[in-house]
Amino acid sequence: MHDLKDAYVFYEEEGDESWLRELIMPMEHALGHLPCIIVKDSAVDAICHGADLAVPGISRIEEGINTGNRVVIYTLRGEAVSIGKAKKGSEDMFRAEKGVCVETEKVFMKPGTYMKGWRRKEKYAQQGVENSKFISSC
């Protein structure tokens, strides 16, 4: 704790944040042990408002997710959006064309961080997870 205080004082006096960056890790570092799903930018704002993740919003899926697993939802840039409970396994998510696949439990990102991309047109609901979108880990 003293190191953190010293690093903060050094930052305040000198403007050098390097010590702070060595001591404080990003939130994503603490979530690295959980399986992940990477979502399209168009789905991020809806999730930030508490919506569950539906299949059309998925960009990539980590292999080995089972129904009931706690998963982290990340943006394409690797920012943690939320944590949720998987309603389908990764194989089922991969094959599905529509439906809810993750029930949102805790949102980390503020609404409005990403542009609103909600669409209700049927042609967008038909887009599923593309082939070769499995990832081994995040």
State pLDDT tens for residues 21-55.
888 888 888 899 999 999 999 999 999 999 999 99
Give the separation between CA 39 and CA 42, rounded to whole angstroms: 8
Average of per-residue pLDDT across 55-78: 95
Shared domain for 3 and 46, answered yes or no, is: no
* Nearest residue to 100 (alpha-carbon basis) of 135, 42, 58, 44: 58
CB 48 within 8 Å of CB 107: yes
Expressed as residue numbers, the domain containing 63 is 31-135
What CATH number is associated with residue 124? 2.30.130.10
Residues 45, 50, 51, CA angle at the centre, nearest 5°?
75
Residue 8: Cβ within 10 Å count: 15
The pLDDT of residue 123 is above 50: no
pTM of the full structure? 0.76
Shared domain for 16 and 67, answered yes or no, is: no
